[in-house]
Chains A and B, each alone.
Chain A
């Protein structure tokens, strides 16, 4: 009996918490003529897809750009953080503790400070308004997290497996590639998913390093939308729904990797 009461209360709490998400969905299906109805329509009884039509018509290139930036950021992040995580976990390098500390500090630097620094560098190198420049900047959101998570995971790989490989004559690189990497599959998935999500969601770097570009990610696309036409809220919300799809995908199909990532980043290794 009591458990049912708790389930009911939990459903109500989720309903309250996710109301803004429902509202985004509702507005995305509302006709432009009904947008300023008073009181607002609580349910999309008479849905329209004009918002989605406009969103796909105008934001498809931005979505493709975001996809490209997301995948590039994942590749760069993995390339840097996988070997580093392995070294910190298994090779006991000199200065390992210093690196741990630096990674913690790096996560605390405000995004606006990083954006200014990158701006000052990119303006000289001609990297402003380029996808490559944005990939590099976005990867700074994920590399410390990636290294710390890989280190924590790889520290748990039994030493016997590694020494067995070495007895078979495998060098450190071979051990890393053929033993450690396959065993680390789950943590690679976790880091990749989070990295993709952060790059996909980035607004601060996009709005500073990429603001005069024709090639913009979808976050900037939505922002310009808001600035340009405040009447087309169904198109804005339709774009927002589409931009939320990676998060929805993550929640439905990769839930166990999320919990691993959230706690690993914050509480403890």
Chain B
């Protein structure tokens, strides 16, 4: 209960700071604030789009939470998502003759690509004690450049005026026209519930958590820590890449250069606020998505930069592990 109160405090502090900064920066602060917080709720269209962006955020945050739970930090989210999106779109285009089922295959293979990227970091961690935090970040930078190269080079859609790949033929079904909201939101909810079950009711979930608490105790009790690291980190990368695929089939239809930049960090913020609980991730991902959408509207309809959303996340991020505010005795333990 004290924790919940602390979380709400942090939220309120962050919103207050954000509003303060808007007053400093904007000539018409009230309009900016309206656009930022109410804008996305002002019409079914905007509301639907906010929900539509919530879906991949939920999935990637659950992915990040898996790593967090066993005390690993997956800092490679941006790259895994970018690669996942590209692989998904390539597979979907290649398998388009098979019809809508191509989406399923595309998402599976995209997840696999993210799992492989993440597995490298887990492998280095287990075999050589290389900090996964740095290796996953470096792999993310390198793969981001590589995907950007493909998007702007050999795989660019010449007919598009955006820097993007060819469009995929099939999208997930829209359920709330005219907005972009698709069945993706159901898949996201299913994934959140599924992982809630896995975390609380299965042996893997238990082992994953115990390793996070005390690796040596886990080892003593006969839990294979390295096996769990491999599975957890790969699964983490897989879900983030899966979310990348969802962006294609739910929102963008093609891979746009740089679209994933910063989403990995949003996912980190969300799972930290949610204390790695997949059910708590659902509303928090929605709020972060709301602020993201609101910031874009504020940029279009008032005089503040859309980066206030990033600022908002940064402030929450700064405060969220505070054991003082959360009323805990010990620091949240990571690494």
B is a partner of A: no
Which residues in B have some Cβ–Cβ distance to A below 8 Å?
none
